[in-house]
Amino acid sequence: MASIQFFATGDDLRSLFDEVERSERFIYTRTGHLRRNEAQTYESARDLPNLGTARSDSAVSCHAYMVSLRTSPVVLRRIDARTGPIHTIDQLLNPDTVVITVGGFFAPSVLIAGSLGAAHDTSISRALFASWRRPIRRMWRKRKSAYLGPQALEAFEAGSRLTWSASGAREFDLA
């Protein structure tokens, strides 16, 4: 299982997505639980809603998208709950994918972390992960355990808080 943590603004993410999509076209499928057996998919990262804006004060609750090749089917997992069936989109039944959690600004000076991860070790998931890791390493700067997009770095240097949880103690922020 491979992962990369990062901090990025909407413009940082758009630049990254543009770079990655130059060589390959993907399908982005919103992860999570659904009441209907209907996946929310996007053919370009530019179509992802509210890119650069965190929907939560915590990285684990921010929007995440499963990234797959256009030729790979997306399989929804059915869970029978007391209130009725729930359909889940995750990597359990989709081994040839990576997941990107976008993070973004939760408040004007609070930037929530994003991440890139692969849950399986298939040749396709490794290639997908590498296709994202290369431009992240080339275009962004590493600081401690995370990569920072250019605008995220500017925000950090201007005093913004870069964190995995805005409600968590500041001692766990990127320092």
pTM equals 0.93
Taken as a whole, the chain contains a residue count of 175
Q: Residues 6 or more apart from 115 whose CB is under 8 A from it?
A: 3, 4, 5, 6, 59, 99, 100, 101, 103
- Report d(CA 91, CA 23) in Å as an integer: 23
d(CA 75, CA 87): 10
Is pLDDT of 38 > 90? no
Q: What is the per-residue pLDDT for 15? A: 96
Q: Can you tell me the distance from the alpha carbon of 118 to that of 124, in angstroms, rounded to the nearest whole number?
A: 10
Average pLDDT over residues 103-129: 96
| % residues pLDDT > 70 (the chain) | 100
| Residue 52 exposed, middle or buried by CB count within 10 Å (0-12, 13-18, 19+) | buried
Helices (H), the chain: 10-21, 123-139, 150-157
Q: What is the mean pLDDT of residues 46-72?
A: 94
